[in-house]
Structure 1
Amino acid sequence: MRNREVAELFYEVADILEYQQVEWKPRAYRKAAQMIENLGKDIETIYAREGKAGLTRIPGVGGSIADHIAEYLKTGRVEKFEKLKGKAPSGAAELMEIRGLGAKKMKKLADALGIRTLSDLKNAIAAHRLRRLEGFGEKTEENLAKAIEQYEKSHARIALGKALPIADEIISALKARCKDTTSKVDLSKIIYTGSLRRLKETIGDIDILAEAKKGEALKVMNCFVSLPDVDQVILKGITKSSVILKEGTAIDLRVVPPESYGAALQYFTGSKEHNIELRNIAIKKGYKLSEYGLYLKESGKQIAGSSEEEIYKTLGLAYIPPELRENRGEIKAAAKNALPKLIEQSDLRGDLHVHTNYSEGKDSLKTMIERAEALGYEYIAITDHSRSQKIARGLEIEKLKAQWEEIDKLSKRFRIKILKGSEVDILKDGNLDYPDEILKELDVVLGSIHSGFALPEKEMTERIVMALENRYLDILAHPSGRLLGKREPYAVNYERVFEAAAANGKLIEINSQPSRLDLNDELILRAKTFGIKFCISTDSHSATDLSFMRYGIGQARRGWIEKEDVVNTYPYSRLKEILKKSKE
């Protein structure tokens, strides 16, 4: 499907022409772009069947624009547009997206102050240079500064832990609004798509897809753009609308008919590389695949499209879960019916990394246990920080023993099994933060690094390997040490770390904290090849954090992890055996 490509091309050209102060052409190109974007039919199919005459029957598409479309569909470029782009300032397209900065103002800023990029504009505003120009003033500067801030927020990568709750809230609010208003539309099929559905650790915009019958799409869009959290409506159409929320996040909503819902869901979930491979398979089998459906190439008859499952099945593939759609071997595996049976959140029986207010946690031991039991867990490990973590109120030995006594008392009051554990610092020399006589009394020992992140790779690797060779260590926690957007992973030879973990029967943690998501999917894939077992833990610092498990499950699924790979899917008796064996 190339409607989006053609529409985006015309939008871009319209921006350039507007900057050059061409009078009517920008409006014509924008109108054509919007009509093509909301067409509901495959423009490539229209051209193949009906030629230029079919294109000119699209509202807003005249003879000249039809020629441009035909040239683009044949060659992937329009020569006239390429020349036009070559004459345009490189930063013009970005500046065009700043609210309140039209083409005339941009031209004036470029001529008077040499402002041609967003960076130039920010610097000029900071130096109060704009207010000196006729037609600009202090208020204009303030408004443009706010508009830039909003633009940068909406175009920044969003952490999964922020994006997923926003998407859930918007979908819930939209379903309720459509049902309660005069539109009375039941959005039974609505879901987020794109990299968010693939549960990537960061995403761009939030994309949502909904199914609606003919005549209901506009009602859905009216509900969407009028949601209380919407600050700015960028685009409103019958098939696509775009808004920016008050907190700065950009959201696109697409609405498709039932016969195309599955095809659209597959297409907009991606990834791009995965979709290219699927289209190639379709072509080889005599089909054509687009976001509208799967069609017979010769007759144009639709043979699949209402569900993703039928798309994959018709192409001779097993259904591929969204998290695997990265073109990393999943298509070949699906063709052989050899995909892994990915772990589900319902498979988990407990959480092995939890903090309480004994150290830096917010909630009491009792509160954390109550919440874990309410989640239906069979067991929970209490793993407050060890004594070296002064900033996290790490436990001295006497305080740790006092916690053991409280656990013994609480164990008599709860169904859930409570493991006595600790997140023990791996010191710079590779030793653990408690002596062996304390470590051997613990049910579970997590080893982690909280200092000395800048050590050279060789030293960091030896430090971790030495810890993994300690008989009392059970789990290597948040193994790369990264904090998303704040701290890069430390330098370490992961091959050696994974070899040491496998050789010593140690577990590797998949940390579900949204700020960590550590290990990432690529390292999970590598670790799995060593035969290593994992645990998926929340690293909770409050009772509400126990819900973070969904993020760790997402990373595990992206790493092709199955139930048997994860020890906290095991019954308590089997888990105890695993932990005992690692100490032998």
Structure 2
Amino acid sequence: MINKEISKIFFEMADYLKMKEETFRSVAYNKVALSLESMEQDVEDIYNKGGLKALEDLPGVGKNIAQKIEEYIKTGKIKAYLNLKKQTPIKLDEISRIEGMGPKKAKVLFEKLGIKNIKDLEKAAKSHKIAPLFGFGEKTEKNILEGIEFLKKDKGRFLLGSIMPSVEEILEKLSSLKEIKQISIAGSTRRMKETVGDVDILVAVKPAFAEASAGKIMNFFVSLPGIVKVWGKGKTKSSVRMKHGFDVDLRIVKPESFGSALQYFTGSKEHNIATRKIAISKGLKLNEYGVFKGQKMIAGRTEQDVYKAIGLSYIAPEMREDTGEVELAQKAKLPNIIGYDDIKGDLHCHSNWDGGEHSIKEMIASAQKMGYEYIGISDHTKFLKIEKGLNEKQLLDQRKEIEKLNNDFRVLQGCEANIMPDGSLDIKDSVLAKLDFVIAGVHSAMKMPRDKMTQRIINAMKNPNVDIISHPTGRLLLKRDEYQIDFDKILRAAKEYNVVLEINSSPERLDLKDTNIKKAKEAGVKMVINTDAHHKNQLELIKFGIAQARRGWAEKKDILNTDSADKLLSYFKNAS
């Protein structure tokens, strides 16, 4: 699908237009980019079936934007985009990765200091040329340098949620080959790590085709759309670079070794060292080809066989980080971690009452499509003006609409209130008390000292109306580190005041992280898995939050929205 490619261009065009203060056009491109990014259908298929008219029927797409989509489909380029880049030769996609560096600031720095990229930005900040500029100052300069250092730590990493659609497309195309018997992703992608470096894919060939088909599979693989470079092509391994910047390795293994190869290439390295030690202690040899007793292969066809042969219970890929899972598998005491179909409703969904794209009715339809029993509408509140946050009157008006929509499908009303610097909320308690639940989150003043930020969140937890803390540590992957907080102290307060912590499924957040989920579970603090969806198709991002919960060893009993709406509301009521 080329949706992501076009949406990336449109997001950048929106930023360039914002720099030129063409606000209306900027908003239009941003809106279409968001829609394309979340669209299930391939926009190229839509065009091939219905032409320009079909493109114009897409949400927010007028004739002008439709023509640009058509241009990209036909030529792989958009002239207007290239012209914008020429007019202002700033690497906006690069600079905007620094927290707080938006299009307008980038424009000022280009005009005053000639800064075009991160290298220029770092040089200017280290030379203290940024602080004297109007609207910047020493604090901003310091934050820029911290942001650059943060980016350097994750250089060469990609968001799991960003690359997964491309990976799934590759798997689908390879699976169409009749010669392939088995296929699976491996590596950190299969372990569902929040960021990945490259992607590993394993295939086993049907015995009837065997060696003769290896060349055909590799030829097919290196000819896939979206490949910009072939690093290497062999009989059993080929490596390519995708246009999005990440590498993919394809390995062909024998069917009898598929399980052992999958176990080996899934990793992690530390997990594999631990399992090999156990094999050795039992007089066995474990490698990518199988489990051997002397020269005899005793397992290797499936991962289950491999783990059983060395005396372990099967360990889910998300748990394979050598953080105690091997020892528990030896005793058959692994936790029964949450499954991908266990969530019964998403409580953190935005509608077009605030900054969301779709109506409550449309969000309900998407929730039903997901197989949910309920949905929670939790729009932003008034302090967050950029998201058109709702005031008290609007929340009460919205409640009337929700009550009318509550028929066969359960619709709950919440809100995502803003935690102010002193820990108070931006909505009156008398109105919060009328909602089904209240989510509270930090959306401003994120650089507070550790003790003050910790107390700020705890003060919010003390409010009897607060049920859930959203994205509790505030991180943005590959962009912004967590707030400075005492997480152990936060956990103690959450336990004391019966406040639930959110696992936010947005690929940019995945907050809580896996280690904090494990800590929350051990502390007896309940959690919910939500998507923070601003578009109806973003409800599908729940799989990334579930994967994060699995990496943190969370079980169904730890996650409140694996329960019915009635049990959920009863918990909130009794906790208040």
1:157 corresponds to which residue? 157
Name the CA distance, whole Å, in 2 between partners of 1:407 and 1:191: 43
Match of 1:266 among 263, 267, 271: 263
2:523 corresponds to which residue? 530
Cα shift readout 1:477-524 (whole Å, capped 9, x = no counterpart): 100001111111110001110000001111110000011000000111
Q: Does 1:489 find its partner at 2:486?
A: no
- Amino acid corresponding to residue 507 of structure 2 in structure 1: P
Name the CA distance, whole Å, in 2 between partners of 1:344 and 1:433: 36
Q: Does 1:235 find its partner at 2:228?
A: no
Secondary structure of the structure 1 residue equivalent to 2:305: helix
- Amino acid corresponding to residue 250 of structure 1 in structure 2: D
Q: Following TM superposition, by how much is the alpha carbon of 1:155 offset from its aligned partner in structure 2, in angstroms?
A: 7.4
1:173 corresponds to which residue? 173
Written as runs of structure 1 = structure 2, the 5 A alignment for 1:226-305 is 226-297=223-294, 300-305=295-300
Name the CA distance, whole Å, in 1 between partners of 2:378 and 2:189: 31
Cα shift readout 1:128-184 (whole Å, capped 9, x = no counterpart): xxxxxxxxxxxxxxxxxxxxxxxx9x97101111122221111112222x2xxxxx4
Name the CA distance, whole Å, in 2 between partners of 1:163 and 1:374: 24
Cα shift readout 1:45-97 (whole Å, capped 9, x = no counterpart): xxxxxxxxxxxxxxxxxxxxxxxxxxxxxxxxxxxxxxxxxxxxxxxxxxxxx
Q: Following TM superposition, by how much is the alpha carbon of 1:248 offset from its aligned partner in structure 2, in angstroms?
A: 2.4
Name the CA distance, whole Å, in 2 between partners of 1:403 and 1:194: 46
- Amino acid corresponding to residue 427 of structure 2 in structure 1: Y
- Amino acid corresponding to residue 225 of structure 2 in structure 1: P
Name the CA distance, whole Å, in 1 between partners of 2:155 and 2:381: 40
Name the CA distance, whole Å, in 1 between partners of 2:165 and 2:544: 11
Q: Following TM superposition, by how much is the alpha carbon of 1:226 offset from its aligned partner in structure 2, in angstroms?
A: 1.5
Q: Following TM superposition, by how much is the alpha carbon of 1:296 offset from its aligned partner in structure 2, in angstroms?
A: 1.2
Q: Does 1:575 find its partner at 2:568?
A: yes
Written as runs of structure 1 = structure 2, the 5 A alignment for 1:362-377 is 362-377=357-372
1:386 corresponds to which residue? 381
Are 1:260 and 1:305, in contact at CA under 8 Å, matched by a contact in 2? yes
Are 2:391 and 2:427, in contact at CA under 8 Å, matched by a contact in 1? no
Name the CA distance, whole Å, in 2 between partners of 1:550 and 1:223: 30
Are 1:512 and 1:549, in contact at CA under 8 Å, matched by a contact in 2? yes
Name the CA distance, whole Å, in 2 between partners of 1:290 and 1:278: 10
1:27 corresponds to which residue? none
Name the CA distance, whole Å, in 2 between partners of 1:247 and 1:455: 35
Name the CA distance, whole Å, in 2 between partners of 1:440 and 1:280: 57
Q: Indicate the larger mover: 238-247 or 460-469.
A: 238-247
Are 1:320 and 1:330, in contact at CA under 8 Å, matched by a contact in 2? yes
Are 1:472 and 1:582, in contact at CA under 8 Å, matched by a contact in 2? no
Cα shift readout 1:227-252 (whole Å, capped 9, x = no counterpart): 12222211111110001123322110
1:395 corresponds to which residue? 390
Match of 2:449 among 447, 450, 456: 456
Q: Does 1:327 find its partner at 2:351?
A: no
Name the CA distance, whole Å, in 2 between partners of 1:247 and 1:332: 39
Q: What is the count of residue pairs matched by the alignment? A: 422
Name the CA distance, whole Å, in 1 between partners of 2:410 and 2:280: 55
Name the CA distance, whole Å, in 1 between partners of 2:390 and 2:251: 52
Secondary structure of the structure 1 residue equivalent to 2:417: strand
Secondary structure of the structure 1 residue equivalent to 2:380: coil
Q: Following TM superposition, by how much is the alpha carbon of 1:279 offset from its aligned partner in structure 2, in angstroms?
A: 0.8
Name the CA distance, whole Å, in 2 between partners of 1:472 and 1:479: 17
1:350 corresponds to which residue? 345
Are 1:354 and 1:381, in contact at CA under 8 Å, matched by a contact in 2? yes
Match of 1:310 among 305, 314, 320: 305
- Amino acid corresponding to residue 526 of structure 2 in structure 1: K
Q: Indicate the larger mover: 369-378 or 437-446.
A: 369-378
Secondary structure of the structure 1 residue equivalent to 2:523: coil
Name the CA distance, whole Å, in 2 between partners of 1:469 and 1:202: 34
State the TM-score, normalizing by the size of structure 1: 0.71
Written as runs of structure 1 = structure 2, the 5 A alignment for 1:32-43 is none
Q: Does 1:507 find its partner at 2:500?
A: yes
Are 1:510 and 1:518, in contact at CA under 8 Å, matched by a contact in 2? yes
Q: Note closer, same or farther for the CA distance 1:365–1:188 as it changes in structure 2 (3 Å cut).
A: farther
**Which of structures 1 and 2 has the bigger CA Rg?**
1
Are 1:174 and 1:227, in contact at CA under 8 Å, matched by a contact in 2? no
State the TM-score, normalizing by the size of structure 2: 0.72
Q: Following TM superposition, by how much is the alpha carbon of 1:204 offset from its aligned partner in structure 2, in angstroms?
A: 0.5
Match of 2:214 among 213, 217, 242: 217
Are 2:238 and 2:249, in contact at CA under 8 Å, matched by a contact in 1? yes
Secondary structure of the structure 1 residue equivalent to 2:440: strand
Written as runs of structure 1 = structure 2, the 5 A alignment for 1:420-499 is 420-499=413-492
- Amino acid corresponding to residue 330 of structure 2 in structure 1: A
Secondary structure of the structure 2 residue equivalent to 1:401: helix
Name the CA distance, whole Å, in 1 between partners of 2:244 and 2:502: 33
Cα shift readout 1:238-288 (whole Å, capped 9, x = no counterpart): 110001123322110001010100000000000000000111111111111
Name the CA distance, whole Å, in 2 between partners of 1:246 and 1:165: 13
- Using the aligned pairs only, state the percent identity: 46
Name the CA distance, whole Å, in 1 between partners of 2:311 and 2:340: 29
Name the CA distance, whole Å, in 1 between partners of 2:244 and 2:419: 40
Match of 1:197 among 190, 196, 216: 190
RMSD (CA atoms): 1.5
Secondary structure of the structure 2 residue equivalent to 1:244: strand
Q: Following TM superposition, by how much is the alpha carbon of 1:405 offset from its aligned partner in structure 2, in angstroms?
A: 1.2
Are 1:163 and 1:206, in contact at CA under 8 Å, matched by a contact in 2? no
Q: Note closer, same or farther for the CA distance 1:309–1:513 as it changes in structure 2 (3 Å cut).
A: same
Q: Note closer, same or farther for the CA distance 1:376–1:353 as it changes in structure 2 (3 Å cut).
A: same
Cα shift readout 1:539-577 (whole Å, capped 9, x = no counterpart): 000001000000000100000000111110001221111
Name the CA distance, whole Å, in 1 between partners of 2:363 and 2:391: 21
Name the CA distance, whole Å, in 2 between partners of 1:334 and 1:240: 32
Secondary structure of the structure 2 residue equivalent to 1:357: coil
